[in-house]
Amino acid sequence: MDCLFCKIAAGEIPSTKVYEDDKILAFRDINPQTPSHILVIPKEHIGGVDEVTEENAAVVAHIFAKIAEIAKQEGLIDGYRVVSNVGEHGCQSVRHLHFHILGGKQLNGSMV
């Protein structure tokens, strides 16, 4: 499958890793929108939030447990935002489930 984040997960394309285990990978966004901008992905290919099912949702729970740890490790003690863009209206540009951790500065209150 020609998927950019599958290739990053497999180590075929380099990334700046922040956290890795057998199920997930966290790495720095190539185009950071905030001082700390990390992407967290499952290693298995799931296209997006719209492809999460009862069968594959365990990895999403695992991702969220690790997001809390990664944010602490990153020093985001004053808070941060977790975002997952979905599909065309959500402006998802990479069709592999990922969660953005955005922090390191005061974010604005606008969700869109």
Binding-site ranges for ligand DGP (CB under 6 A): 4, 13, 15, 27-31, 39, 85, 91-94
Nearer to ligand DGP, 40 or 76 (CB): 40
Contact 29, 41 (CB under 8 A): no
Q: Given the residues 45, 62, 89, 98, select the one marked as catalytic.
A: 98
Minimum gap (Å) between residue 62 Cβ and ligand DGP: 20
Measured distance CA(101)–CA(83) in Å, rounded: 7
Nearer to ligand DGP, 27 or 71 (CB): 27
Q: Does the annotation mark 98 as catalytic?
A: yes
Q: Which residues are catalytic?
A: 98
